[in-house]
Amino acid sequence: MKDLKTGVEASAHGEPADLKRHLTLRDVFFLSFGGESPLLSLLTYGAVALSLGGYLTPVILILGALIVLVNGMVVHRLSTRFTSTGGYYTYAVHSLSERTGFQTGWMYVLYAILFGSAYVIGAAYVINYVFGFSTILVSICMTVPAFLFLILGIRPSAKYAIVAGIVEICVLAVFFAYSIYLAHFTFYDPLTYQSATSIPAGKLALAILFAMGIPTGYGSIAPISGEIVNAQKVVGKAAISVILAGGAMGAFFMYGLANVIISNGASIRGVTGANGLGVISLIHTFFGGSAEFFIFILAVGAISDGILAILSFAAAASRTIFGMGRDRTLPGYFSMQYKGQPLAANAFVGILMIAICTVILIPLDAVDAFIALGTISSLGGLFIHLAANFSLLRIGLRKARRRVGAGINTIASLLYPYGEALLAVAAVVITSLDLVFSLVSTDLIYATLFFVWIVVGYLYSDTREIVFKAPMGRMRPASSGSGSETWRAVGKMTAMEIRSELPDVLVGEEDKLKVAMNRCLDADSPAAIVIDRQGRPAGTLLLRDITTLSDEELNFYSAVDFAKPEVATVTGNEHALALASAFRESGLPIVAIIDNSGKVVGTVREREIIRRIASLRETQKADATDS
């Protein structure tokens, strides 16, 4: 339904309505492909990899794509289980813990905003180099239209991405074919060419880190899962396809460029320059009379890519913030919608990106700004993928233990259940090594800022937990004013009054786990209360305990088979203090409200208390304004 005063959509229970599913596989593929900005990636991230990796760059790009592919396969497996808005944040919340989920979402916001901003800075550099326009002016001219598109919705962006993506694929194909022609149809072996294998380990790791920045447009897919039709299948297919397409085209582009340089008897290290952003100058030097044509096409492509990148990653960041606001791990107003769009989250992310892309160019030139944003965001990307890897690892191990416990008849029956766990372990090892080497190799200031963001996230999370999970007597401010009035008002409320904020999450003992899982996911609840035939509480079913199961198992087992026997209960007329005590003492994320006969009449989740506090504060502010 829609609030008549604000036009903001909400469910019948007051919960923010789900975002509308309208994106198809084609939309998602090209939106993600546009998000990785193939031409601009090669002019920026690819160029840095070229300056660090030299003749080995095509192989480095393939290695980077393979690392990304491992992480993409992890996302593919997780996306079949979790299809709601939020992506990596949702994976960690339901598979690991609320605290880890918050930290993952917190880091994803940094990653997406800085990653998209880095593309804009890179595009500004290219336009400044080719046409001489001010980088700040170019940045504003790209971010403001992108912001307007973001406010209008993701669908127009997807349509533009389809057209732009097809054109860019054609441009890359023509570039590679022409580079082979300029090299007189000769080819070099990047694995055996002189000095190709003498790169220091630290430089190689940093080169791979930047190479991973090319096919990572898929990182913008998972957070918008809630808007994808048949997300259970589409997210994984789109992610794998984008990684393979981006990695392959990047490797061919860099191989063609290196091949032309070698055929002219020049040295890559002698012509790439110190800053590593000299692909345009290389084309100008070695492509003869066609250089101006290719440079013009790449410059126009850079503008298009800059807009698409910021659109794609801004949308992903806003959906993550929307999901965190919906769960009240961030302020609830971020979950506000208008005409099916997360209006507040979109506006916040859009304005922040405009500010970052403009302000950073005042003290820094475009090259330094790009490297700073690219390095920090890439470190953040490794962090969130580690979280996703550990999410799948936990799911895989639980699934394997359950399958093995059912009996082992063959070697295949022993190895198959551990497939997801082995994939997660491989992803954890590869990503961890790259993160460690990258942290050691990068400038201290970038690593420091990366860790500072982590610490700030933990401080915010701890402060929020102390405020909202401590007993009511300790939560109440000593001073008078609107804050103390809010706490007093909440403390006087009964469980039934607080319960009205969100829908009840109840399942019957004999309900299949598939029904229970859908009920939890629809209500965005980490758990459900299981009731018997008489309506009395029989247990608590945790969502994370059943996400590891196959469709067969979900349709075979009943809720009572996997429910914990513990149930936290309160009566309907007990006050908020009793609710807080029930949550604290049980450690469960949901409490059952029972009547005098012991039957369940409702449920309360932790965030309902937070929502009620927020609602009261808004009401008090409105009353104060009216008076």
Per-residue pLDDT tens digits for 540-574: 998 877 876 767 778 878 888 788 888 888 888 88
User: What span, in angstroms and rounded, lies between the C-alpha atoms of 317 and 330?
Assistant: 13
The stretch 197-210 carries a mean pLDDT of 76
The stretch 340-359 carries a mean pLDDT of 89
Contacts of 474 (CB under 8 A, 6+ apart): none
Q: Which of 196-210, 265-279, 374-388 has the lowest mean pLDDT?
A: 265-279
User: What span, in angstroms and rounded, lies between the C-alpha atoms of 561 and 514?
Assistant: 13
Q: Which tokens sit at 17?
A: 């309505």
Strand blocks (E) in 9-168 = none
Q: Which tokens sit at 45?
A: 């991230």
Tens-digit pLDDT profile for residues 106-147: 999 999 999 889 889 988 888 888 888 899 999 998 888 888
Tell me, letter by letter, the H, E, C secondary structure of 580-610: HHHHHHHCCCEEEEECCCCCEEEEEEHHHHH
Q: Which of 8-12, 44-48, 336-340, 513-517 has the lowest mean pLDDT?
A: 8-12
Q: Which of 221-235, 479-493, 551-565 has the lowest mean pLDDT?
A: 479-493
User: What span, in angstroms and rounded, lies between the C-alpha atoms of 519 and 625?
Assistant: 40
CB-CB contact of 65 with 245 (8 Å): no
Phi, psi of 212 (to 5 degrees): -65, -20
Q: What is the rounded average pLDDT for all residues in the chain? A: 79
Note the Cα 590 to chain centre separation in Å.
27
The stretch 398-423 carries a mean pLDDT of 64
Q: Is the dihedral of CA 362, 367, 372, 378 positive or negative?
A: positive
Q: Which tokens sit at 476?
A: 């109440």
Alpha-carbon radius of gyration of the chain: 26
Q: Is the dihedral of CA 400, 402, 405, 407 positive or negative?
A: negative
Burial of 541: CB neighbours in 10 Å, binned 0-12, 13-18, 19+: buried
Model-level pTM greater than 0.75?
A: no
Specify the DSSP element, H or E, that contains 530.
Answer: strand 527-531
* Count, residues in the chain: 627
Domains of the chain, start order: 56-457 (1.20.1740.10), 481-626 (3.10.580.10)
Instruction: Look at residue 473 and tell me whether its pLDDT is greater than 50.
Output: no
Count of C-beta atoms within a 10 Å radius of residue 50: 32
User: What span, in angstroms and rounded, lies between the C-alpha atoms of 226 and 86?
Assistant: 8
The stretch 423-427 carries a mean pLDDT of 89
The stretch 444-465 carries a mean pLDDT of 87
Instruction: Look at residue 398 and tell me whether its pLDDT is greater than 50.
Output: yes
Q: Which conformational region is residue 24 in: left (phi greater than 0), alpha (psi within -120 to 50 degrees), or beta? A: beta
